[in-house]
Amino acid sequence: MNKWIEPRYIKNRFIKINWRKRVSHFYGYLDNSINQTKTMRGFTNHGLTAEACSWNGKIKTRIYQDKDGVDRFVISQETHQGNGVNEILASGIIGEIQLMMKVE
């Protein structure tokens, strides 16, 4: 059983330990050179999504774990405030070499 959700019984009291202190499966960092670097966390059941926006569109990066337990990523370009285009720039398995070709 997972040690983060394993119940413990102490003196006839039920205590569920560490249920808020689960270890994140995914980590991200946000550095805007004004504030300190911020950490983002993502778990296997939700993944982690980061968006960087401009007036001409946005870039969205999503990392997640699929139903087979494989870590995957999707990098896409999307519209923001009505500007930009919707297209997937890259997708694949994290840790494997990806071959990318731009079709024009």
pLDDT band at 78 (very low <50, low <70, confident <90, very high): very high
Burial class (CB in 10 A: 0-12, 13-18, 19+), 86: exposed
Rg (CA), the chain: 19
Per residue in 4-21, pLDDT tens? 554 454 444 544 544 455
pLDDT (mean) for 71-96: 91
Per residue in 49-63, pLDDT tens? 989 999 999 999 999
What pTM did the predictor assign?
A: 0.67
